[in-house]
Amino acid sequence: MKRLNRSFYTKPVTEVARALLGKVIRYQLPSGDVLSGMIVETEAYLGAEDKASHAYNLRRTERNEAMYEKGGHAYVYFTYGLHHCFNIVTGEKDDPQACLIRALEPLAGLSVMREFRSGKIKRDKLKDRDLCSGPAKLCQAFGFDLTHNRIDLYRHPELEVLCASNELKDEDVVTTTRVGVQYAEAWARKPLRFYISNNPHVSVK
């Protein structure tokens, strides 16, 4: 599998969010263990106009600074006092857009993911579909935190996004509204969430 080109990420976020479905995130831990998973669910967050975006009205703070990087960087943020979420920045530099990675189908390193995910939940009670079926779950499974914020996915060999051989057909992609953004009024109703039809690792029905 080949790493995605920079030009893949510099396109508009809605296009990239759709195109990321079926691609593979690969991460080599400091320990040497390799984790990987196929992207099965994404959400697009536009910048200035999008009321649900951290960059609404071109808001620019220390937290969301990564959104202003050139496409292909990681944007990781901490929320609810206990969770992290992993995004891939899209578009050109200073045009803040990002694609939230909401769910992965685990491919490699499942035992490590299960270890990272087992806290209150017992290790042997965790099914494969409990490992990465949500934005905060996949961060926990991969060990993503603020140390991964602003990483350039195009330059860091330990964290990259790869192109799987086969392209997804449109009939295998479901487009719907985003999760958890009710406050965003009209923007909450826009079709900016994408997932692979009938994939068991998607976060919510």
Interface positions with DNA (CB under 7 A) = 43, 45, 52-55, 59, 61-64, 67, 75, 78-83, 85, 87, 98, 100, 117, 120-121, 130, 134-137, 178-181, 183, 203
CA dist., res. 78 & res. 146, Å (int): 7
Q: What is the smallest separation between the CB atom of 152 and DNA, expressed in angstroms?
A: 18
How far apart are CB 144 and DNA at their closest, in Å? 12
To DNA, the closest distance from the beta carbon of 6 in angstroms equals 21
| Exposure class string for 118-136: b at 16+ Cβ within 10 A, else e | eeeeeeeebeeebbbbbbb
Buried b (16+ CB within 10 A) or exposed e, 14-42: bebbbbbbbbbbbbbeeeeeebbbbbbbb
Tell the smallest beta-carbon distance from residue 178 to DNA (Å).
7
Please say which residue, 53 or 199, places its beta carbon nearer to DNA. 53
Q: Indicate the residue among 4 and 100 with the shorter CB distance to DNA.
A: 100
Residue 93 or 167: the one with the smaller Cβ distance to DNA is: 93
| Minimum distance from residue 188 beta carbon to DNA (Å) | 10
26 or 178: CB nearest DNA = 178
Strand pairing report for 24-28 and 193-196: unpaired
Closest CB to DNA among residues 34, 126 = 126
